[in-house]
Chains A and B, each alone.
Chain A
Amino acid sequence: MTTVEQLIIKIFDDQEVNYLTIKKLKRKSKIKKILRLTDKMSNTDIKNKLLPHINNAIRVVKGYKTGLYVTRNISDAEIIINAIKKKPCSLNQLKVYFPIQANKLVQLVSQMVMSGQLCVNFTVKGIINLSITNNNTEKNESILPEIKTRSDREKMKEAYDHVGGGHSFVRIHAMREYLNWSTDRFNQTLEQLTRELVIQLHCGDPSALTEQQLEDSYLDDEKQVCITITWRSE
């Protein structure tokens, strides 16, 4: 049986998009039927109906003019790149009906321009158009892990907050268990955050852990068994 999430992903695939407004989604008959949506329902009501069906493939976010959007569960940067790749446009054009709020979008685009993921072109009328940096194929492949990490970083912070219950010195094995990622994915995210000084790794006391917990902790490049982390900056 197809789930709501799978139905929505199929709609995205059919329309070759990464997001839709809640309003547009409401018009899809299958969705309307499964979720028992009525015309009088507000966007928030629809969101509440939708949330129990969301697992890991989609997310509901606030976007342009605080409207609600359903997007694929990919990073914001990836959504931006795909949109611009489809049709280069100005920032003003991009922000309309986009699933990222204007302030955040401006910040992200600036960062992506600075890091060379996006480039800017001027039209004759002086309008700044955004486009993907040349050597797209090759470049995009190298960008993808970065994008993935950016998204994973948020998930790791969520895991940190959830497992630690708002406290510091959160055990790595518990976060690993919570996220249930592949070892490489977890370790790479941890290493990137360490390099960026976002987190600090701590050795702690190995004798307080079971053998399995020790194995699920993290061995750094200086051969120290790290047991907990502390999130130092956002």
Chain B
Amino acid sequence: MNKDVNYLDLLKQRKPFASSTVSDPKDHAFPDVPSINGDVYQSVIDLVRMKSQSPSIPLAALVLGEAGSGKTHLINRMIRNADSYQDLSYRVAYIQPIEDPAQTYSYLLREIVTNLFYPIQDNHPPTIMHGILAEIIKKSLINATFKNQTLKTKLHDIFQNNPVDIFYEFKSNMSLWINIEKKLKKDYSNICPPEVLQVLMQLRYSDRRFAIIEWLKCNTLDADMAKMLHIKPSNLSSIPTKEQAARDMIKNLSTLIGICNHSLLICFDRLENLENDDKVQSFGRMVSFLMDDARAMIPVAFCRGDLWQNILKNKFNRHVSERLESNMFELMGCDVYQALELIASRLTWAYGHKDHNYQPFGKEKLEKIFSDRLRSTRNIIQKANQLVIKGPVATAIDQLKEQFRAQYQKILDEFDRYSPERSRIQRALRLFFEIKDFTVDIHFGDKYIDFSFSQDIKTSKQGIVIIDFENHHRAVAASIKRGIDYLKNNPQSYVLYFRDERCLLPSRWKSTNAALDQFKHQGGHVLFLDRNEAAQCFAITLMNYAIKEGDICVETKEELDMRKASIDEFLYFLHESISREPFTLFKRLADILKLRKKIKPKSDTNPISGSKTKNQMILNKTIECLRPQSMMMASTDNILAFLSDNDVQTNIDELMRLINRFNDRFVVHQSKTETIIMIKKEWMNAQP
């Protein structure tokens, strides 16, 4: 018995079942259980094998599974095992949902490049791109003739042991690198532009990595960065030109990957976030392009089954859906043996040994719980977690807060992996304005303006947001000019200009800095996002994607029960947290827009004061009560009891007055004996 208590304490301390979600497929925190969805994994690996044997075959795949069935985990397994095959070389790129369909290929390129610059091993400098390039060099030099036999022997040793070492061992051997570049250009200039090889050869200089990444992403470079890479400075280009350049660069990268007989699995996850037809079509274009023009890449879409079969499939061009469905795999629920295997693996991880015999649960008890149906992996982990944690459950909002903190901290810990990405910042800022009851228009203005915002209340605040991560002074100047022009025409408005601190304006850009000064003088606000603020935005956006996917769950008060957090709860959490740590950016914004609430006097002990706040609280708690219910409905008696349990004092008249006032959110059914309240579908669907 004492032993059981110790086991339980250890579980509470190490929390092996606390997370049922793989928010980042590159996170290998918990052990993998190969038998779960092993056949689907094997089928994808077979596709990679087929691709490596016949690179010209256009291949794509679709993996279907409901939320929690292990889609992201499957990507995690593919990343985890990428180096474990002797006869197969592949890498994985994880693509987040697209935000701006007008920049389909530019976005795809940015995501691919970001993935190619992930470290091969954690905490080691060589990236996947280093690995690919090292393989190409190896292929080119392995049979080359060398005058210097010592060099030849040393190079062969490196090629045999760890080819990426070439970037570090011979970093300062200029003549060698000149010869390597010549040899590569000679061997591959007919299939890959020499300029690409020339730029990539400079990966040996760590201080040039940022410029190389920006160039590969087809972002405009200023004269200094171009000079550093020994290339011509790029000119400002229109979106169509950029799109074409991005297509060409993806093809070039595919060629390089193909040279060393690698494949790149392009994993599109969280398709739930393709919120409109434009984004759906944009995704379709990416898939078709990758299949037809980037032959070393295999697009694999991960989608919820119901969403695919009943919604998305019909929205896609038939050509695209048929191509994806030509290799369609379904993730299976786990039977009792797999459930126990999963639990055993987590227990082994927590205890550090295998001799736990399912303590403190006991095998029989687990068999009884898990033998009644096929369950998703998430459901198994959640149930196991409930067996560990019995006691008071935090509110959904507090749990979201905790999950947000974890996500935010994780991004901060690996901040270099999150290169400046305009669309992520834009999504987070849009959420801020929307929860503050602003109307947001993302189609306002031209490509330099991200969105406009306006508020139809007394003060009628309005303005525009410009997020600018460009590296070319002319592009930056063009963005600032949009801000100045807007302020001239709308002197009472707000113009918020955002830049990542990693893209500071160099002092030598005199006219650009002068323009920025003029912008400030006109009343414009410049916000340089520091590391913490950029991480906040990334965390908000990624959590928003995950919520929509149904990937974030909260414990409910009932034992052994968890449910998906709703988008409304997420918005409510943001709303409530905006003025608190760690939302420093949102605090800054609220200050600029003079939105912050007045601090209540300490003497006010009533936690709910003021009718507006109280009404809001009643509404929020009513929703909190209805969400976990069957069909999201409950009787007024149950709602009142719930409100009372949560220290919200009201009565049936007040509740019904509010429900009727907000009839856009609720439906009232009158039965013979009671009044039933249900959340309206339209309101359930409310999207940020």
Contact surface of A with B, Cβ cutoff 8 Å: 164, 167-171, 194-195, 197, 200-211, 214-215, 219, 222-225, 227-228, 230, 232
Contact = CB atoms under 8 A, between A and B. Distances in A.
Given A168-B330, A225-B630, 5 more contacts: A169-B306, A170-B309, A204-B305, A223-B561, A224-B563
B560 A222 contact: yes
A2 to B, nearest CB: 42
A200 B305 contact: no
8 contacts: A171-B306, A195-B373, A203-B550, A205-B307, A206-B684, A211-B680, A223-B628, A232-B374
B306 A205 contact: yes
> How big is chain B's contact interface, by range?
35 or more
A230 B372 CA distance: 16
Contact of B66 (A170, A197, A203): A203
B86 interface: no
Contacts of A227: 306
Q: Which of B306, B374, B667, B680 has the most CB of A within 10 A?
A: B306
B334 to A, nearest CB: 10
Nearest to A215: B631
A168 B306 CA distance: 8
Contacts of B631: 211, 214-215, 219, 225
A227 B372 CA distance: 19
Contacts of B374: 194, 197, 200, 232
Contacts of B685: 207
Residue of B335, B667, B681 most packed against chain A (CB within 10 A): B681
A202 B304 CA distance: 10
A219 B332 CA distance: 21
B272 interface: yes
Interface of B: 64, 66-67, 272, 304-311, 330, 332-333, 335, 372-374, 550, 558, 560-561, 563-564, 628, 630-632, 667, 678, 680-681, 684-685
B345 to A, nearest CB: 22
Q: Which secondary structure dominates where chain A touches chain B?
A: mixed
A198 to B, nearest CB: 9
Nearest to A221: B372
B330 A230 contact: yes
A202 B561 CA distance: 16
Contacts of B667: 211
Given A200-B332, A223-B630, A169 B681 contact: no
A204 B306 contact: yes
Contact of A168 (B64, B372, B550, B561): B64
A230 B460 CA distance: 52
A222 B301 CA distance: 31
Nearest to A214: B631
B64 A169 contact: yes
A230 B373 contact: no
A201 B373 contact: yes
A228 B306 contact: yes
- Closest 3 A-B residue pairs measured CB to CB? A169-B305, A204-B306, A202-B66
A230 B630 contact: no
B374 to A, nearest CB: 4
B302 to A, nearest CB: 14
Contacts of B64: 168-169
Nearest to A222: B561
A222 to B, nearest CB: 7
Nearest to A201: B373
Contacts of B333: 200, 232
Contacts of B560: 222
Contact of B306 (A208, A210, A215, A232): A208
A171 to B, nearest CB: 7
Contacts of B684: 206-207
Contacts of A232: 332-333, 374
B681 A211 contact: yes
A2 B306 CA distance: 44
Nearest to A227: B306
Contacts of A203: 66-67, 550, 564
B304 to A, nearest CB: 7
B335 A197 contact: yes
A171 B681 contact: no
A207 B550 CA distance: 11
A230 B329 CA distance: 13
A168 B309 contact: yes
